[in-house]
Chains A and B, each alone.
Chain A
């Protein structure tokens, strides 16, 4: 159980375009979803916390107008990178957590590699 999917797995786009990444919890309802970014050979950095039906909470230094997060249902959260630039190229990973499961363990998606040309 506790499977999280992400789509697409990798995307290449031109500078200035917007890219949407989907995160789905397949076999449980995720009350909270998280978005992380991982640069090459570095650790994961939390970008934002997304609760179903409410606005996302962004970490310091993360531009909320650039990284739009929507958590429309208990199984789906989306991250849209607007007006992407080469410095946004990174590995984006989502995770999902369910209070109902009795734990606060986060289950991770397989990640999305974004390359901005």
Chain B
């Protein structure tokens, strides 16, 4: 079984600041993927960034980057130059690949990020 833990229920930063959201996970699988999803008030789940466990290089998407520490089972999200539109719930998620296709995602409880003007 997989577990994903997000220990920060809510965070608040000023616009243009950098913020890091924490996530730890536990899995017995060797082949898995990690994701950060954003859920704004509309409740539409939006993929922010993904990381394949076999890749050592940290994934980067524009202002979003991750710090993937496989041995520590840590997967934090860094948002640089934060913008008002970044205000949302952020969910960390893991997915195993059973070989027969995609498996369902296991989500953390989420972090409510508030960007203050």
Contacts and interface: CB of A to CB of B under 8 A. Distances in A.
Interface residues of B, number: 23
Interface stretch (A17-25, A73-81, A91-99): A91-99
Q: Is the interface of A mostly helix, strand, loop or mixed?
A: strand
A117 interface: no
Contacts of B45: 44, 93, 95, 108
Given A44-B91, A104-B97, A105-B50, A110 B105 contact: no
Contact of A108 (B44, B95, B101, B110): B44
Interface residues of A, number: 26
A80 B110 CA distance: 28
B105 A106 contact: yes
B78 interface: no
B62 to A, nearest CB: 17
Interface of B: 33, 35, 37, 42-47, 50, 91, 95, 97, 101-110
Interface of A: 31-32, 34, 36, 38, 42-46, 49, 51, 59, 91, 93, 95, 97, 99, 103-108, 110-111
